[in-house]
Amino acid sequence: MKGLGMKKWFLLTALVCLFTACGDKEDDPKPEPTPAEKAPITILAYLVANNNLDDDLLANIGTMYDGLADMDREATLLVYWDGKTKIGGNDASHLILKYQTDGQGNVNGLPALEDATVLDDVLDAGIVAKEYGSQLSTDKGVMTQVLKDMIALAPTPKVGLVVGSHASSWLNTIFMSRSFGQDGSGTDNTIKIPDMVSALMSSGRKFEFVLFDACFMGTAEISYAFRNVADYQIASVMEVPAYGFPYDVFMKHLYEGSVEGYQKVCDAYTQFYAERYKSGMQAWATISLVDSKEVQSLTGLIKQEITTHKNALADYDISVLQEYGRQGGPDIAYDLEHFVKDLNGGTVPSAFKAQLDKTVIYKGSLDKARPSNYSVDPSNYCGMGIYIPIESRSKWNTYFQTIDWFTASGWNTVDFSWNF
């Protein structure tokens, strides 16, 4: 009996060891994620600040840094700076700054700054990855080369793009407007949207997103122009306040590289300005997230609406529509859905509505704003604007005929009653 007990003891021990070994195998820590898995996107910021937005865009670098410092995974931010403020050891005004976080509270190998509003410290903490001589950052060739340089510095195959400066949607330099960017005091120092699209496409990489920290870029014309440049577009149909986007509260979502993350970015933007309004400050906001792959289908339906109602559009009354752009740029954009609703006697065709919802997958706005003429009627806000040619904008109309959108959207079929 004693021998049998020993056998049972050895059997029991073997079984315990077997199950313990199985348990240890299942509980083994998973392999450490690769840097690419930890940071699926490198964010590039192209800031043209050689204008009256110098201080504001400089402050944006601080909020970007702050948001980066709060990351819980590795991430890289590359900032191209062209501004009045000279930074770096050589006091350069054209350079690329690099910021990397290890996701454990360190940026560029040092503990993150406790106060990112001290901009001198933020700029000193950046690694100067490349310096340039004097150059026009709104030149197509310059923009292409800088983006190529930034992409070469990116540690991940996927990149997202933030562009910050003045802008006026698709418009050329007419009546002091800009397409994108203002490099210096001359209004000619801007880049036309077709040239900007060409520069981005020539960079050699399709972007995961493009975030327009610039005014009036949430229009159908812009969405169409950039449909092959980036998977998603984040933009405002009206002016962006000089403060810009609150990067410190949403950088982690921007790095997620997902629709859900981009929706959180838009929501954070709206909520940020809603809180500023509640506190009694000047605040207004419109923001939208566009799925670029759906833009072509929406454009087809817009063309159908315009061609079907072309006789009504020959002398259309725009005063009934919700307008965007109330400071120095009226008539740039009217609400797209409100326009289609008016064309159809107060009802939006179901197919159009369905496609619009597939294209604009997030929309946010403040229905009450300061100044009050920036308030938005949410019942007539779809997140996307559209230009409607009117007789008083003859120079705009002349240029409008040269962009691809003019034919793609069907405006070329309208026989206007006035001299187009």
309 lies in some domain: yes
Domain final residue pick, 274, 294, 314:
294
- Work out the average pLDDT over 283-296: 97
Contacts by 274-280, CB closer than 8 A, 24 or more apart:
274/366, 277/366, 277/368, 277/369, 277/370
Residue 370 in domain = no
**Looking at the predicted structure, is the pLDDT value of residue 186 above 80?**
no
Segment 258-281 mean pLDDT: 97
pLDDT at site 37? 46
Q: Give dist(CA 196, CA 192) in Å, integer.
A: 6
Q: Is residue 420 part of a domain?
A: no
Whether the per-residue pLDDT at 194 is higher than 60: the answer is yes
Average of per-residue pLDDT across 179-207: 88
pLDDT at res. 87: 83
Residue 371 has pLDDT above 70, yes or no: yes
- For residue 276 the two structure tokens come to 């500023």
Over residues 93-144, the pLDDT tens digits come to 899 999 999 999 999 999 999 988 889 999 999 999 999 999 999 999 999 9
More confident residue, 116 or 326: 116
Residues written for the chain: 420
- In the chain, the percentage of residues whose pLDDT exceeds 90 is 75
Evaluate whether residue 372 is within a structural domain.
no
Indicate whether 106 and 205 sit together in one domain. yes
Q: Distance between alpha carbon 165 and the CA centroid of its chain, in Å?
A: 12
275 lies in the same domain as 303: no
On whether residue 16 sits in a domain, the answer given is no
CB 275 within 8 A of CB 268: no
> CA–CA separation, 217 vs 407, rounded Å?
20
- Same domain for 321 and 249: no
Task: Copy the structure tokens of residue 105.
Answer: 């509270």
CA angle centred on 28, ends 22 and 30, rounded to 5°: 135
Would you say residue 29 lies in a domain? Answer: no
From CA 295, how far away is CA 210, in angstroms rounded? 15
Between 90 and 234, the higher pLDDT residue: 234
Q: Which residues contact 309 (CB under 8 A, 6 or more apart)?
A: 343
Question: Does the structure show a pLDDT above 50 at 74?
Answer: yes
Tokens standing for residue 382? 């779809």
Check whether residue 176 and residue 257 sit in a common domain. Answer: yes
Backbone angles phi, psi at 127, to 5 degrees: -90, 125
Asked whether residue 366 is domain-assigned, the answer is no
- Mean per-residue pLDDT, 136-159: 96
CA distance 335 to 210: 22
pLDDT at residue number 86? 87
pLDDT for 339-364, tens place per residue? 999 999 999 999 999 999 999 999 99
Binning pLDDT at 50, 70 and 90, where does residue 330 land? confident
Query: Among 294, 321, 337, where does a domain finish?
Result: 294
Angle 83-87-90 (CA atoms, 0-180°, nearest 5)? 120
Lowest-pLDDT choice from 11-20, 165-174, 183-192, 296-305: 11-20
Co-location of 269 and 325 in the same domain: no
The band of 4, judged by pLDDT with boundaries at 50, 70 and 90, is very low
Nearest CA among 222, 241, 181 for reference residue 332: 222
Q: Are residues 209 and 88 in the same domain?
A: yes
Q: Are residues 249 and 305 in the same domain?
A: no
> Are both 224 and 330 inside the same structural domain?
no
Mean pLDDT over each residue of the chain, to the nearest integer: 88
CA contacts within 13 A on the Cβ side of 344:
19
Q: What is the CATH number of the domain that holds 263?
A: 3.40.50
Domain span at 351: 297-359+379-413
pLDDT of residue 226: 98
* pLDDT value for 418: 82
Answer yes or no: do 336 and 280 share one domain. no
CA-CA distance, 310 to 323, in Å (whole number)?
Answer: 21
- Kindly state whether residue 13 falls inside one of the protein's structural domains: no
One domain for residues 176 and 319: no
pLDDT tens per residue across span 22-65: 333 334 444 554 444 445 899 999 999 988 999 999 999 999 99
pLDDT, average across residues 156-179: 84
Tally of structural domains, the chain: 2
Sheet containing 323-324, strands listed edge to edge, beginning at the edge strand earlier in sequence: 323-324, 333-335, 385-386
What is the pLDDT at residue 183? 84
Cβ-Cβ contacts under 8 Å for 34 (sequence gap 6 or more): none
How far is CA 30 from each of CA 26, 27, 65, 226, rounded to the nearest angstrom?
10, 9, 30, 40
Both 302 and 287 in one domain: the answer is no
Are 139 and 245 in the same domain? yes
pLDDT given at position 6: 35
Position 323 pLDDT exceeds 80: yes
pLDDT band at 173 (very low <50, low <70, confident <90, very high): low
